[in-house]
Amino acid sequence: MRVTVVVPTRNSARTLERCLASVRAQTHAVELVVVDNASTDTTPEIAAAHADVVAGHGPERSAQRNHGWRTGGGEIIAFVDSDMVLEPEVVEQAVKIFATEPDVGGLVIPELSFGEGFLARCRAVEKRSYLGDETVEAARVFRRSALEETGGYDEGLSAFEDWDLADRVAATGLRIGRVTAVVRHDEGRITLRSAYRKRRYYGRWLPAYRSRPHARSFNRPRSVRALLRQGSPHLVAGLVALKISEALGLLRGSRRPSAPDTPVPPENPASSDNLRPP
């Protein structure tokens, strides 16, 4: 089965080389499509050194992803963010599942994270606590036929769009499965201010997402309870502070719903982290 991997980018030079190298290192051959949104750093040059196709498209990552899968020719489409690193077996495992389980329309890639500093450590424990939680995880690999039936990503959403697509695919009667190989998200250095600003930006799409028929509820994060069981009070305190900052950012952003011409944020807007409950 032919596989297309789509990577949306915008000023992604810090992480892109490692991301694309991990795509090229897959044990199953892939077509690699990078869709760049007017980067002003060395992203285009890095992309050109690795990708089969480098396209320009915007204005946001949902539109970039849709352009990417429609440009590519794979029967299976995997969406990878530019700050993510795949284990080598991800695509091979996905192909085997799709080939043997015709009722599967999408696949979750278990996501872990790494980064610099104390808050990145808190985030890493948080993400590990969400493994296997269907209320948080979202599929990243799809049959082309499922994307064609649903129309792909909702371009009216530039946050929560991963949940939205996975749930619309499931609503067609197809099952969402999972591979065992993981993807690791490079968080870089997290600060309370950067976490607040990122969620404030994403919060602009919260009212639109909540109006969708398959919108998920925001439950209390399991991560705090997981940390308490591990006896890590300092990490608990850090994670609580982080989640409060993010919740305040989402709340502030949701009071300023996004307009079609909303500019991209100062941080990398082509990256998604499957927004966790605040």
- The string of pLDDT tens digits covering residues 167-223 is 999 999 999 999 999 999 999 999 999 999 999 999 999 999 999 988 887 655 555
Residue 30 in this model has a pLDDT that exceeds 90: yes
**Per-residue pLDDT at 268:** 53
**Per-residue pLDDT at 271:** 59
pTM exceeds 0.85 for this model: yes
Domain topology for 3-254: Spore Coat Polysaccharide Biosynthesis Protein SpsA; Chain A (3.90.550)
Lowest mean pLDDT: which of 4-8, 42-46, 206-210, 214-218? Answer: 214-218
**Per-residue pLDDT at 261:** 44
Q: Are strands 31-36 and 84-86 parallel, antiparallel or unpaired?
A: unpaired
On whether the CB atoms of residues 13 and 83 are closer than 8 A, the answer is no
* Greater model confidence, 258 or 102: 102
Give me the chain's average pLDDT, please.
Answer: 90
Domain boundaries along the sequence of the chain: 3-254
DSSP string, the chain: --EEEEEEESS-HHHHHHHHHHHHT-SS--EEEEEE----SSHHHHHHHH-SEEEE--SSHHHHHHHHHHHS--SEEEE--TTEEE-TTHHHHHHHHHHH-TTEEEEE--EEEEEESHHHHHHHHHHHHTTT-TTT----EEEHHHHHHHTSS-TT-SSSHHHHHHHHHHHTTPEEEE-SS-EEEEEEE--HHHHHHHHHHHGGGHHHHHTSTTPPP-PPPHHHHHHHHHT-HHHHHHHHHHHHHHHHHHHHHHTSPPPTTPPPPSS-TT--------
